[in-house]
Amino acid sequence: MKKPKIDDKLRLQADFGETDAICVEVLKNPATEEGVLLKVMARGPFEQGQQVWIVDNDGSKVGATVENVLTQTVDSEVTLSTVLPA
């Protein structure tokens, strides 16, 4: 899985099922050397600390942790912490 760019569509899988997301920001994670923070807009009952999967087009998955959730109307701004393969 490559690092997403702004406006890329992502598919997230969580305990409540799958949902689509749109990447709105990509940042380096200062807490880990190879880590990435992805801010996405998505629908669903996300909670801080929750584990989710980012599903690639080929079906491969990368684990991520929900760092922050900012609810705005129907969609939420969700910050995901992950390490993407090189």
Read off the DSSP letter of residue 59: S
Residue 50 covered by a domain: yes
Give the integer Cα–Cα distance in Å for 53 and 64.
6
Q: What angle do CA 1, 81, 52 make, to 5 degrees?
A: 75
Q: How many domains does the chain have?
A: 1
The residue segments making up the domain with residue 51 are 9-83
Query: Which pTM was predicted?
Result: 0.88
Q: Mean pLDDT over residues 4-14, rounded?
A: 95
pLDDT at 6 over 90: yes
Residue 1 covered by a domain: no
Q: Mean pLDDT over residues 20-30, rounded?
A: 93
Greater confidence (2 vs 25) lies with 25
pLDDT at 86: 58
> Residue 64, exposed/middle/buried by CB under 10 A (0-12, 13-18, 19+)?
buried
Q: Which of 9, 5, 65, 15 is nearest to 41 (CA)?
A: 9
Residue 32 covered by a domain: yes
Give the amino acid at 14.
A
pLDDT in tens, 40-77: 999 999 999 999 999 998 989 999 999 999 987 788 99
Residue 3 covered by a domain: no
Residue 4 covered by a domain: no
